[in-house]
Amino acid sequence: MSKLHNLFFNVTDFLQEKRKTFTTISDKIWAKPELHFKEKYAASVMEEALKVEGFAVEKNVANLETAIMGSFGSGSTVIAFLGEYDALPFLSQEGGKAEYSPIEENGNGHGCGHNLLGTGAFAAAVAAKEYVEKTNAPFTIRFYGCPAEENGSGKAYMAKYGVFDDVDMAITWHPMTNNTAWNITSLANYAATFKFTGKSAHAAATPHLGRSALDAVELMNVGVNYLREHVIQEARIHYAVVNSGGTSPNVVQPYAEVSYLIRAPKKQQVVDIHKRVQKIAQGAALMTETTFVEHFEGAASDLIPNTTLAKVMQQQFDAAPALQFSEEDFAFAEEIYQALDDESKTTAYLNMSPEQKELIGNKRLCELVLPLSPEMALYGSTDVADVSWKTPTVQCTTACLVLGTPLHTWQVVAVGNTPIAHKGMLYAADIMARTAITCMENPTIIEEAKQELKTRLKDEKYVSLIPEE
């Protein structure tokens, strides 16, 4: 930490003093999980919290009802913190319970920890804002409440709308099982639903009069499964039949729907595979004499890493007080660990060195800081990627989950409102705020990060995968 940082402001002390404020916000959002683009309660909670902390608030950002922006300061250099708060379907679960126990059958749950993600990013923004206020640093601090990361890619809409065009750097994080800065790429994606329409008929008396939309869906799925052999190895194609056309086998199904999610390392690869999937849908419609319409669901770019900022963020793990869990935390973590399947348990210590494994021993929570890894690919997608095309972007992960826990599971929800999650969230806020302050005290870092982004893009311009219509 620099002299200014020590003299005027202690990030860790500030966050701990406001600990109750931040954990309360996180728990409120955890207790009312909302799906993509429906996060009205979460957005209202964040809006009120921003106003209380002295941010000017803008609503309906990018014409999205649940997207908000809080801004503080008038400096020409803008540092943004990215928050999320959408939940997942079918993951309702009681907090603090190490056995499957849904609060609401088939209800929603924060199975990716976005209640923590949004609040942690907000806490970091508040700390950075406090630093600007105390030091009169010539910077503007922004917090973006971004909807629909899980389905719909809210940040991609915001990037297409130009929301991040004047941002000089962006900071975010994700709850995980370990502590490190991310230096990764991710897969671009495109999601669409294919809605087939046929003609109903009595399946026994007049089957020749029927045209089955469900047949078309099944044939499309068969065709895409054959396509898998003939796309690049890194590509992923997922599908779900979201409407089978009815429950009676005695009626030819006149309507059926299938949703597809296509992923690949580069945007153009996604575009090319999507065109081939469209041809298969056309073929299925021809074979069944049905028609279809395609409905766009969401898209995200591939993530552009920024090693300049990742190194700075990694250094903050050395500067900040270490993450520490209590005996009660470890005891509950052991219960959650035992509730995992054997395959998940094998991943718990997968990326750790023998020395790290020895230090952790049989504990199920990671207090260690893992070193910054060489640049690597994440075989998932995130709409943070669209921001990374616009401005240098950096992320970290902190231990909010039990080792071995897969994301999008009830075990994530069970831990999401406990002291384990709270401690990891505030630790992340500390790291993010310190990263911002370090860059404010050393503005050349931001310029170096911008130059790195420019070099990586090689004059390639940002093109959104979201259709114009």
Domains identified in the chain and CATH numbers: 3-186+302-457 (3.40.630.10), 188-299 (3.30.70.360)
Torsions phi, psi of 397, nearest 5?
A: -125, 150
Tokens of 346: 């094998």
| Average pLDDT rounded to a whole number, residues 53-73 | 98
Beta bridge partners of 169: 79
Instruction: Kindly state the tokens that stand for 429.
Output: 């806020």
The dihedral built from the CA positions of residue 316, 318, 319 and 322, taken in this order, carries a sign that is positive
Distance of CA 326 to the CA centre of its chain: 28
Say yes or no to pLDDT of 344 above 90.
yes
| Sequence-distant contacts of 347-354: CB under 8 A, at least 24 apart | 347/404, 347/406, 348/177, 348/403, 348/404, 349/403, 351/178
Residue 84 phi/psi, 5-degree rounding, is: -135, 160
pLDDT tens readout for residues 108-159: 999 999 999 999 999 999 999 999 999 999 999 999 999 999 988 999 999 9
Contacts (Cβ under 8 Å, ≥6 apart) of 373 = 180, 183, 184, 351
- Taking a C-beta distance cutoff of 8 angstroms, is the pair 11, 134 a contact? no
Q: Using one digit for the tens of pLDDT, what is the confidence trace for 242-274?
A: 999 999 999 999 999 999 999 999 999 999 999
Residue 154: strand, helix, or coil? helix
Using alpha carbons, select from 165, 182, 140, 145 the residue that is nearest to residue 67.
145
Task: Give 380-437 pLDDT, tens digit per residue.
Answer: 899 999 999 999 999 999 999 999 999 999 999 999 999 999 999 999 999 999 999 9
Count of alpha carbons within 13 Å of 451, Cβ hemisphere only? 7
pLDDT digits (tens, 9 = 90+) for 156-208: 999 999 999 999 999 999 999 999 999 999 999 999 999 999 999 999 999 99
Query: How wide is the angle at C-alpha 223 spanned by C-alphas 221 and 228, nearest 5°?
Result: 95
